[in-house]
A and B are shown apart, each in its own frame.
Chain A
């Protein structure tokens, strides 16, 4: 067949062709991502203002419930900063996995009418979450800084280390994209898995110390080490280390190595897994 210039349809392209094709569509990824985040707040009077208001309200709720009523951060220098950074970063990861899982189904009309590497979809979905995270990051840093003026909260001094939030967020973004590839493939092929995601997320949320410190809670328990070095906890550690000034969260090169390692591992494994399912997406 090949000699007539006819190529077989519906077979998975080779890995190299796939990557090359994906690279060629990078503008497509960017436009898709920005369009999605813009359309999100379109049907409201305040419009894009919600990109800042939503995280601000979220921060308020978390601080009131966990910081003041439940006081889950007892013994910490600045509990508000700890909780706000934790919840914002985790929310980004959580959203990324959820939209990654739906990336094929939510774009079915596109999938069913045009041919392009489907990996475009999870990448664009997570990227669009990243663009909504940026205004939220400013809120996050602002609230953390303001928190030191509340009674009983330790200082959050302006520091050069604040710039480390940029690599921390970038690593978390890469890691989340890897996870989006994995769940995207699983859910596209076995839709039932989607129902398990909220539970997995709950598990990760409590296992990563989003609203409390694992170290304080578990102490020297053997499970503490596992929980401490699993990817989500590592990224929370890096983000907190950048902004907050907790004595229990010093800058630690090991955590940075781990952060890079987890990101690359999930990105590569996730991408290869996603590519291997390519010809099956959109089948129904």
Chain B
């Protein structure tokens, strides 16, 4: 058993043959991230358990109750999810993002897609980014057919264009007649396939994929890899967040490693993946 097998239990590397094609020539810069900071503000999220109870020890019940109540009024917690990330992406590049849970990958991607305004710093983009998130179910109550229309229109296609691409999208997603059922009845793999098909239908300038490939089966992974290559060939840029290093290594030429909201490493896929693997192994040994 190799190292890769140990970490990527959910994927067979041979599904993703071909490698990232690093030889491809890179184009102009199309994305510039300059000292990006994202801070989430969470309302009413004070800890009520230990801290409040401890310093209230010995106080009267009523006073303790009041003290706890006060903590719950108007409390705002700030969570710095991304803290000073800078990088440049070029056309035709495919960039993987790795990092442990909660390190800020999804937040970074959303900010780069312009869906969360930066707290500090700026993002400059050429073209229109399209984000494909793992939990971006469009509308669960509606049929896949409706969702294709809504998603396509939201991406800026016209109704006629969506209709023209409809068969293509259904064919690519491979869900068959299930497209006429409400999306809440889909399995997670089915909705991932449909979402991928919708988001990539418009051949966006920047395609961002947040763990959306993880639930797909082998056929789907092969298909999506082909689709990603198409986007890159048309001078688009692809971002891919995944916990499967095999996926990252086979698709991406460059990898960003994010840890606690900071960019730890930015470089060729093999180097960063190797360093990240080392980090994960060291961490596992510790625990």
Contacts and interface: CB of A to CB of B under 8 A. Distances in A.
A112 B146 contact: no
Most buried by A among B30, B128, B146: B146
Given A39-B139, A110-B154, A113-B115, A8 B133 contact: no
Contacts, number: 106
B126 A6 contact: yes
Contacts of B29: 4, 6
A1 B150 contact: no
B125 A7 contact: yes
A115 B41 CA distance: 22
Please classify how large the interface on chain B is, using the bins under 10, 10 to 19, 20 to 34, 35 or more.
35 or more
A6 B125 contact: yes
Interface string A7-41: 11110000000000000110110011001001100
Given A6-B29, A116-B154, A109 B135 contact: yes
Contact of B28 (A4, A25, A111): A4
Most buried by B among A6, A7, A9: A9
Contact of B124 (A1, A32, A191, A282): A1
Interface residues of A, number: 32
B112 A9 contact: yes
Contact of B150 (A10, A28, A111): A28
A30 B159 CA distance: 11
B153 A27 contact: yes
Nearest to A2: B124
Interface in A84-131: 109-116
Nearest to B158: A27
B129 interface: yes
Nearest to A29: B153
A117 B131 CA distance: 16
B138 interface: yes
A109 B138 contact: yes
A5 interface: yes
Interface in A233-258: none
Contacts of A1: 32, 124
B154 A114 contact: yes
A284 B32 CA distance: 24
Given A5-B126, A7-B125, A7-B126, A115 B159 contact: no
B156 interface: yes
Contacts of A114: 130-131, 151, 154-155
Contacts of B123: 8-10
Nearest to A6: B124
Contacts of B136: 109, 112-113
A280 interface: yes
Nearest to B41: A284
A115 B137 CA distance: 15
Given A6-B29, A9-B123, A280 B117 contact: yes
Given A10-B118, A283-B116, A39 B141 contact: yes
Interface string B28-47: 11111000000011110000
Given A6-B125, A113-B132, A191 B114 contact: no
Interface of A: 1, 4-10, 24-25, 27-28, 31-32, 35, 38-39, 42, 109-116, 191, 279-280, 282-284
8 contacts: A9-B123, A10-B117, A112-B136, A115-B114, A116-B156, A283-B116, A283-B117, A284-B42
Given A35-B146, A112-B115, 8 more contacts: A5-B28, A5-B126, A8-B123, A31-B159, A110-B154, A112-B110, A115-B128, A116-B154
Interface of B: 28-32, 40-43, 110-118, 122-126, 128-133, 135-139, 141-142, 146, 149-151, 153-156, 158-159, 182, 199
